[in-house]
Structure 1
Amino acid sequence: MLKYDFIYNQLMQQIQMGNFHAGAKLPSIRNLSLQFSCSKSTVLTALNKLETQHLIYAIPKSGYFVVDHQLPHAPAANDFIDFATSSPTWHVFPYKDFQHCINKAIDTYQTDLFRYGTPQGLPSLIVEAKKLLETYQIFTHEDNIFITSGVQQSLSLLSIMPFPNQRTTILVEQPSYHLYMDYLKTYRLPVVGIKRTAEGINLDELEQLFSTNTIKFFYTMPRLHNPLGSSYSKKGKYGIHKLANKYDVYIVEDDYLADFEQNSKMDPLFTEDLEERVIYLKSFSKIMFPGLRIGLAVLPRALISTFQQYKNTTDIDSSMISQAALELYLKSGMFDRYQLKVSEDYTKRGNALQHSLKKHLPMYKTATDICMHSHIILPKEVNMSNLMQQLTQQHVLLDSIDRNYLDGFFRERILKLNISNVEEQKIDMGIKEIAIALTNMNNYYS
């Protein structure tokens, strides 16, 4: 081992053990060279290595100080099969690649970090976002693209801002994205629901709702729906377009899983939007990490000015560091490589889930799309609460469907499944445990 590596390891261990706490000053270079019987340049090499890893920082003429004594740790192993958590598996993300982008972004955009950004977003990121959107079959002008603090902010702004159709009521699929349901309920906004199943929605019911209510916009997840895991057919999407145009209703398309679509012919609603009625939303939470808090919104020209005004009063601009880092991550090709890798991984899991559902639960109705989300329709005699408690005892975690519904809307007996945090080899084990628990319950009630 080289001498500077030995010094580096010794100092790192002392920092990790807490001998040098956050903010503590390290011994001087002179004292360290005497302690380790080496030259000052050797000590400096070791200190530079610690500084590169963000464990210490230097103050000119004062010395080196500890940033934090805590070091990254590997995820703790557990025996649970987690079908409840929807966040992506964090430890597989190439964080060092993104860290390079953050560091480079700080160097490149250091002047921009000390002033407010633009309401629309970092211009160079919008250029890269336009290129990315085209891979999703979203072709638009840069003036129509807004960078937001996640899709949640876009939904919040769209829900409260006035629309050209002068309507106030929001229409949502049931079930739907639980955080948006929470938002609508918390702020008591005028909202109605429409039932969605694995087959889609009833277009006759949609027309009735459009014609008898003051519908401002229809919030929908056309492909890889959360929590159902199903997608609209081409006929269903055509019907939605036709009715929205007929009754002057806007469509808010949440395409949060665009990165995982395996069917190249499954285009977004936006692709066929000839009347500028579709608002397209894209999140990076599932493909990268929720803490990034960056989303994309593609707006019709009629909404740009109002959306910009409302966004400006909310946060002036989304995080400049996150925007700059994401721009470099996209431009460098890192995102493309990671997207391919993680998409292949989730496709394997999605295939494993479908295989296990057909193998262990062939008598139950489920979604058949290859997706990280799916569901099981349960008979009325099954007690959902008891089922989930029994499965928890078998180390299988599930989440309730309740938050995915509006208050008072009829709730299907749906068992949600999410494989975002389930290893491929554990999926079959988990579905098998669900099948055993359902068999035991059916035997008990029969």
Structure 2
Amino acid sequence: MQIQISKRMSKPDFQGEFVDAMLKAATAPDLISFGGGLPNPISFPVEDIEAAVNKVLQENGVQALQYSSTAGYGPLRSFIAKRYARFGVTLSADDIIITNGSQQALDMLSAVLVDPGDEVLVERPSYLAALQTFHLYDPEVLTVGLTESGADCDELEELLKHHSPKFFYAIPNFQNPTGLTYSKEVRERVATLVASTNMLMVEDNPYGELRFRGEGGESFGRYLGEQCCMLGTFSKTVSPGMRIGWIACPNRALMEKLLGYKQVMDLHTNIFCQMVLAQYLQDNDLDAHMTKIKNLYQHQADVMMDCIARYMPEGVRYTKPEGGMFIWATMPDGLSAVEVQNEAVKRGVLVTAGDPFYEKDRGVATMRLNYSNCTDEKIEQGIQILAQVIRDLLQARQG
């Protein structure tokens, strides 16, 4: 018997194939990995979470083990809504839907907004798992390039003269994969351009709390109100394993459709984890916890940038992030990042070539380096190996 798979799941998925290959490579023993986007496990508040688990079971065990509401646990939604004030946005708990990580939020928005053939707009490059999700709904994926200050506004303005995307998906703070952040001027101009259309702004902000230098980071929600959906997650601040993310949606009509779709999908996100997380946030100072993480990541980012400056051959360029988890490196003389990646993994270093972060571009010279999940020693060792790989490939090309 041959099972008939849906057309949706039968399509080639370059991003998925690439990620699968990377994950398999990551299982190799003694591999130095700059390839993922994992938080540093030394930042996980294990003892505090244990105390929250015990407290929830002792005081609200029956509620924690029962079915719950689709929108999510009220105290947790209230906490999230209040925290948006630091990004210049006023929200209430009614504007928040708790999701299974921000990945589910991407799927929910796609299912509710996108019909086959519709246009959607993303940054170039963009988060590869978002591209995977959007592709499931058969849209025409448009892209707008990035500058050091964020989206290329001139390119965006010209694109919107000829296209009508359903939404613009952007990661304005410490973007994945580039680590770049939108300037205030770019945010304001992008908001003005979006406001002149019927396009929804989808702001993904998993790294916004991870700013370790500089200032800024106002949400597009401040400028666009109901025309902006804001996605967030506790995966980068507390625990990725709990799978707690959210959609902040002040648009009532869209909120109703999102809730209806989520109810069909899973009824509700794990209520036990929601209550444990809410208890942890009530009993502990999240800002103090975040200060520890930001100090750690600033140190690791500085170590990696220092090693790149010391060991890499001339012509390697790289972004200098003010937060988040990533550095975006560009190889000299158009050297293929996939070629570098394939050779580096043979020598015990995993990096992520830039290709799967692009909708169409292939053979690119860019790669993503993650600094958050390695010791200082591993960072230095890994960058030295990577630098030698690049030198060897350049020499082979010349000779």
Smaller-chain TM-score bracket: 0.7 to 0.9
Alignment of 1:384 with 2:337, yes or no, is yes
Percent identical residues: 25
Does the 8 Å CA contact 2:301/2:372 hold for their aligned counterparts?
no
Say which structure, 1 or 2, has more relative contact order (CA 8 Å, 6+ apart). Answer: 2
Deviations 1:224-281 (Å, cap 9, x if unpaired)?
Answer: 0111111112221111101000122211111101221134631233353254322111
Q: Specify whether residues 130 and 409 from structure 1 end up closer, same or farther in structure 2 by C-alpha distance, changes over 3 A only.
A: same
Alignment partner of 2:167: what SS? strand
Equivalent position to 1:94, from 45, 65, 68: 45
Partner of 1:84: 35
Does the 8 Å CA contact 1:193/1:409 hold for their aligned counterparts?
no
Alignment partner of 1:435: what SS? helix
Does the 8 Å CA contact 1:387/1:437 hold for their aligned counterparts?
yes
Alignment of 1:292 with 2:292, yes or no, is no
Which amino acid letter does the alignment assign opposite residue 382 of structure 1?
L
Equivalent position to 2:369, from 412, 417, 424: 417
Partner of 2:5: none
Alignment partner of 1:88: what SS? coil
Alpha-carbon separation, structure 2, partners of 1:397 and 1:286: 21
Alpha-carbon separation, structure 2, partners of 1:260 and 1:271: 19
Alpha-carbon separation, structure 2, partners of 1:86 and 1:414: 17
Partner of 1:240: 190
The equivalences for 1:205-354 within 5 A come to 205-263=155-213, 265-270=215-220, 272-302=222-252, 303-354=254-305
Alpha-carbon separation, structure 2, partners of 1:265 and 1:277: 25
Unaligned runs of 5+ in 1: 1-75
Does the 8 Å CA contact 1:87/1:289 hold for their aligned counterparts?
no
Which amino acid letter does the alignment assign opposite residue 422 of structure 1?
C
Q: Specify whether residues 80 and 211 from structure 1 end up closer, same or farther in structure 2 by C-alpha distance, changes over 3 A only.
A: same
The equivalences for 1:88-167 within 5 A come to 88-162=39-113
| Deviation of 1:98 (Å) | 0.7
Say how many residue pairs are matched: 367
Alignment partner of 2:97: what SS? strand
Which amino acid letter does the alignment assign opposite residue 352 of structure 2?
D
Deviations 1:2-23 (Å, cap 9, x if unpaired)?
Answer: xxxxxxxxxxxxxxxxxxxxxx
Alpha-carbon separation, structure 2, partners of 1:271 and 1:264: 21
Alignment partner of 1:292: what SS? coil
Alignment partner of 1:196: what SS? strand
Alignment partner of 2:64: what SS? helix
Alpha-carbon separation, structure 2, partners of 1:157 and 1:263: 33
Alpha-carbon separation, structure 1, partners of 2:339 and 2:140: 34
| Deviation of 1:198 (Å) | 3.8
Alpha-carbon separation, structure 2, partners of 1:82 and 1:412: 20
Q: Which has the larger radius of gyration?
A: 1
Does the 8 Å CA contact 2:221/2:228 hold for their aligned counterparts?
no
Q: Specify whether residues 200 and 135 from structure 1 end up closer, same or farther in structure 2 by C-alpha distance, changes over 3 A only.
A: closer
Which amino acid letter does the alignment assign opposite residue 37 of structure 2?
S
Which amino acid letter does the alignment assign opposite residue 233 of structure 1?
S
| Deviation of 1:221 (Å) | 0.4
Which amino acid letter does the alignment assign opposite residue 309 of structure 2?
K
Alignment partner of 1:276: what SS? helix
Does the 8 Å CA contact 2:168/2:202 hold for their aligned counterparts?
yes
| Deviation of 1:286 (Å) | 1.9
Range 242-251 or range 86-95, more displaced: 86-95
Partner of 2:316: 364
Alignment partner of 1:253: what SS? strand
The equivalences for 1:50-65 within 5 A come to none
Q: Specify whether residues 270 and 132 from structure 1 end up closer, same or farther in structure 2 by C-alpha distance, changes over 3 A only.
A: same
Deviations 1:8-59 (Å, cap 9, x if unpaired)?
Answer: xxxxxxxxxxxxxxxxxxxxxxxxxxxxxxxxxxxxxxxxxxxxxxxxxxxx
Does the 8 Å CA contact 1:245/1:275 hold for their aligned counterparts?
no
Does the 8 Å CA contact 1:276/1:300 hold for their aligned counterparts?
yes
Which amino acid letter does the alignment assign opposite residue 111 of structure 1?
V
Alpha-carbon separation, structure 1, partners of 2:43 and 2:251: 39
Which amino acid letter does the alignment assign opposite residue 161 of structure 1?
V
With normalisation by structure 2, the TM-score equals: 0.84
Alignment partner of 2:173: what SS? coil
Deviations 1:306-350 (Å, cap 9, x if unpaired)?
Answer: 222222222221110010001011111153332221221011111
Q: Specify whether residues 90 and 263 from structure 1 end up closer, same or farther in structure 2 by C-alpha distance, changes over 3 A only.
A: closer
| Deviation of 1:217 (Å) | 0.8
Partner of 1:44: none
Deviations 1:124-169 (Å, cap 9, x if unpaired)?
Answer: 1122223333344443122212211111111111112149xxx942
Alpha-carbon separation, structure 2, partners of 1:411 and 1:216: 29
Which amino acid letter does the alignment assign opposite residue 147 of structure 1?
I
Equivalent position to 2:351, from 398, 403, 407: 398
Alpha-carbon separation, structure 2, partners of 1:77 and 1:385: 18
Q: Specify whether residues 275 and 370 from structure 1 end up closer, same or farther in structure 2 by C-alpha distance, changes over 3 A only.
A: closer
Alpha-carbon separation, structure 2, partners of 1:131 and 1:84: 34
Q: Specify whether residues 268 and 425 from structure 1 end up closer, same or farther in structure 2 by C-alpha distance, changes over 3 A only.
A: farther
Alignment partner of 1:428: what SS? helix
Unaligned runs of 5+ in 2: 1-26
List structure 1 segments (4+ residues) > 6 angstroms apart after TM superposition.
Answer: none
Alignment partner of 1:287: what SS? coil
Alignment partner of 1:318: what SS? coil
Deviations 1:172-199 (Å, cap 9, x if unpaired)?
Answer: 1122111111122233233222222544
Alpha-carbon separation, structure 1, partners of 2:204 and 2:110: 14
